Amino acid sequence: MHSDCLFCKIASGAFSTEFLVETENLVAFRDINPAAPTHVLVIPKRHIPSLARLGPEDQHLMGEIMLAVKQIAEQEGLDEGFRVVVNTGPDGGQSVNHLHFHLLGGRSLQWPPG
Ligand code: AMP
């Protein structure tokens, strides 16, 4: 855990955040500033700064995160579809430097993003 990382603190339970899913390796919680009726963040508990910093050892973890995304989409009733976004680095619009997967759904989403 990085003591100055917001998402490390959330994952550790420091803010008593409600988790939609929690496993040994990941947590999922609702975005504080939702961009869609469903806006959930799925994050690894371990501090990984961004997608650009993944290593081969993270292969299983990434699969676990994708399956959690699918499970949450089902729980949220996103039968008409949804979007998964991983903003990466300054050009990607990443504002929190702890890897996170946005799950967005519940409305028709536009493409391309800005
Ligand atoms: P990104 O811009 O891709 O790095 O996404 C960071 C996301 O974290 C944004 O959608 C924020 O609304 C969200 N966020 C920031 N602080 C919190 C928090 N305390 N709890 C839940 N979501 C947060």
How far apart are the CA of 96 and the centre of ligand 1, in A? 7
Interval 3-13 mean pLDDT: 96
Of 95, 100, 101, 104, the one to substitute when testing ligand 1's pocket (max ligand atoms within 8 A of C-beta) is: 95
The predicted pLDDT at position 2 comes to: 84
Pocket flag, ligand 1, residue 94 (CB < 6 Å): yes
Interval between CA 107 and ligand 1 midpoint (Å): 20
2 flagged as catalytic: no
Kindly indicate the confidence band of residue 57, based on its pLDDT and cuts at 50, 70 and 90. Answer: very high
The average pLDDT across 47-54 equals 98
Q: What is the Cα–Cα distance from 59 to 91, expressed in whole angstroms?
A: 25
Residue 1 has pLDDT above 90, yes or no: no
Burial class of 95 by CB neighbour count within 10 A (0 to 12, 13 to 18, 19+): exposed
Mean pLDDT of 45-64: 98
Q: What is the pLDDT of residues 92-113, one digit of tens each?
A: 999 999 999 999 999 999 999 9
pTM over 0.85: yes
- For ligand 1, whether the C-beta of 33 sits within 6 Å is yes
Whose CA is closest to 27, among 4, 57, 14? 14
